[in-house]
A and B are shown apart, each in its own frame.
Chain A
Amino acid sequence: MFFRFLNPALLMMLLLASGCEREQRRFDEPTAASAPVDSIRMTPQQPGPMTPVPATKAPYSENAYALNEGKRLYSAYNCEGCHFLGGGGMGPALMDDKWIYGSDPANIFETIVQGRPNGMPSFGAKIPRYQIWQLVSYVRSMSGLAKSDIAPNRNDSMQARPAEAMTKPEHPKQ
């Protein structure tokens, strides 16, 4: 009796319900994607005893669809115009291990929202928060800081750089 209900479609639904974050499509964005980040640190240095900086988990870092959206938005919002496909040119490279303003998702989020004084525009008033988080996860994937089964595999056009999913993870330095 039980097996009569277990047709392939139902099996699929059960699998999805079991929580495949990678393939999830959201109709409501998670609260974390619209909440402001608490605080970011621009330096590991602090006076007195060290208190660890908790790493922020980006709300979309495990979601392949969101990273692909991030890749599309990266072009649509002209991030590509300055940073190109990660090699930089007007803005700094994003596929290497150098992060002027920090590699933590919260740092990247705030860099996009606030802008930075040496040429990075402030996009906070232009781009919805959940899209900025999608961009954050995509930007991290450009230097291999996303799982290879989550990161984009190819461009739709000229293959001008190794695919994000094939990029060897860099070890960020600040």
Chain B
Amino acid sequence: MAKGHLVFILALTFISCSKQPQSKHEASGAGSIEGKLTVPAASEDGQWLMAAKDYANTRYSALDQINTGNVANLREAWSFSTGATNGHEAAPLVVGDTMYVVTPFPNMLYALDLKNGGTLKWSYDPKASPAAKGVACCDVVNRGAAYWNGRIYYNTLDDHTVAVDAATGKEIWKTKLGEFTNGESITMAPIVVKDKVLVGNSGGEMGVRGWLTALDAGTGKISWRAYSTGPDKDVLIGPNFKPFYAADRGTDLGVKSWPPDQWKIGGGGVWGWISYDPEANLIYYGTANPGPWNPDIRPGDNKWTCGIFARNPENGEARWFYQWSPHDVHDWDGINEQILLDLDLNGNKRKVLVRCERNGYVYVLDRLTGEVLSATPYVHITTTRGVDLKTGRLQFIAEKAPGTGRIVRDICPFAAGAKDWQPTAFSPKTGLVYIPHNNMCEDAEGTEVSYIAGTPYVGSHVRMYAGPGGNRGVYTAWDPVAAKPVFQIKERFPVWSGTVATAGDVTFYGTMDGWFKAIHARTGQLLWQHKLGSGIIGQPITYKGPDGKQYVAILAGVGGWAGAIVAGGFDPRDATAGLGFVQPMADLPNYTTKGGTLYVFSLP
């Protein structure tokens, strides 16, 4: 492939994510929030308004005070204990001179005063039901909030979306979106597009039926809901649905690609990341695994699970769909982030999305049509033979599919995939995608399973272990044009944190044994590291404080699926414990204890 130019669309996304709140904010009257939350007009305003930083999901900051030459001097500025002890996967937000932090269950929201060393301004308790903890497959995590028009929006484990006044902490509305007694929960960070809060459910291990819901940002009323399975009218598939590949065309495929009625409990949750292209007016998001894991119970392509939808955010109508893993047999939820980029590929300027998929391939898709332009392995793969670019279909190796009473060994990547939820970052300066990810394999066996509403619906025994080399985690810098890695850093444990890229050519990520690291964005050299109080699975951010200095913030607090052994105190003698992720992490308790703390760093 010819090396080409790489053009980024950050300007586009900054305009969309920072300008709109500003104008809305002014229109609604600055007086109500004391004028503190004014969003500067500059394209890089130094704030962090949504978990992914921008609609393109770049997690890139143009701040460059902290750079490769001085990052070694970074030191702790202040910290804040969240009081929660489960996995902290959220990204803090920075709006004006306030930082907002969402905790795992009980899903507290804290506002911290950046003008006053992070002093607590107020806290908000959504009073989520503790019973909902029983339906969270993989620790009671929360991935963060979104700021829009003077309000903080986020989701609670017990299936509510709340809007909280960013200045006062007062609840403005609270909308119930699902029933945790049926196995539904919500862990994802919402995004707000055109006055609509977009929220999806979790529960692919509980026999739920996945959906994405849009709520009116002003009132909290549900404006549309698009299911991931079932008849076209429920999936919001109409005349404007034009998938690129023939396999996705037809009527009611969300019913026909399942055994009778199995789609009603077929999974396809929407618990990952949503991108938005304002020019095309399309949102992009992935759908999770079909349920149960045991594939023998659900012959068929199981649409529309393990795929990606492009939709009109205003009415939710589907425009195209592509299925990463048709008839998924390995729990490869297709929910990872997609970074929206404009790439010059072989002399043609293409509007693409880059997806580091759980199934082990980095995909480059035409984001206007859903055509697969390339799919390149970024980890060791034993389960598939690549993607047929004519049909778009992933080529599964049949002998590697577990089934009822059939144990299959050496499945790579394992159920949590080459990369799970932990989001990547893209730097327009280096042209590289920074991928925090896993290097693990598994043995798996399908079992019989009863569907009992509100209880797990998995039907699988899984035994996980490290992949080739023995390092369970990797941090990879990937060139999306040349489709190859530029450098790789091996880590003892899965790299379960997010990452941030900066104009100072420094990227940051954290490890599950508690090291927060600064990396040279071009060479991969470790420039600085600092040991935090607990393992790190959060999303680092960087921002400009009220004093004009650049800061870096990260939540420590180990847990999540990979860290459940510490957060939940599980017993590694059972290879199946924690959906298989407890035993391979048996040594994690030797390195870290649980406990959530926000850390903020700056130069002296």
User: Which residues of A pack against B, CB within 8 Å?
Assistant: 75-78, 81-82, 84-93, 95-96, 98, 117-121, 126, 157-158, 160-162
Contact = CB atoms under 8 A, between A and B. Distances in A.
B455 A95 contact: no
A93 B570 contact: yes
12 contacts: A77-B450, A84-B576, A84-B577, A87-B574, A88-B569, A89-B568, A89-B578, A90-B136, A117-B130, A157-B405, A158-B461, A158-B576
Given A95-B571, A117-B130, 6 more contacts: A75-B447, A77-B455, A85-B577, A90-B456, A120-B134, A160-B576
A87 B583 contact: yes
Task: Indicate the member of A77, A160, A162 with the most B CB atoms within 10 Å.
Answer: A160
Interface residues of B, number: 41
A90 B134 contact: yes
B574 A86 contact: yes
A8 B579 CA distance: 50
A128 to B, nearest CB: 15
A88 B568 contact: yes
Given A87-B583, A89-B564, A95 B137 contact: no
Contact of B134 (A95, A98, A119): A119
Per DSSP, chain B at the interface is: loop
Per DSSP, chain A at the interface is: loop
B457 interface: yes
B456 A95 contact: no
A121 B575 CA distance: 24
A157 B576 contact: no
Interface string B429-444: 0000000000000010
A107 B328 CA distance: 41
B573 A161 contact: yes
B130 A118 contact: yes
Contacts of A82: 134, 455-456
Contacts of A157: 405, 407, 445, 447, 461
B461 A160 contact: yes
B570 A89 contact: yes
B243 interface: no
Nearest to A96: B571
Given A87-B570, A89-B578, A81 B131 contact: no
Nearest to B451: A78
A78 B131 contact: no
A92 B569 CA distance: 8
Contact of A119 (B130, B452, B574, B579): B130
Interface in B370-384: none
Interface in B567-602: 568-579, 581-583
A152 B205 CA distance: 28
Nearest to B406: A157
B36 interface: no
B166 interface: no
B131 A87 contact: no
Interface string B266-305: 0000000000000000000000000000000000000000
A135 B354 CA distance: 49
A157 B403 CA distance: 12
A52 to B, nearest CB: 30
Given A81-B455, A89-B564, A119-B131, A158 B445 contact: yes
B33 interface: no
Contacts of A95: 571, 573-574
A75 B134 CA distance: 17
B439 to A, nearest CB: 22
Interface in B528-550: none
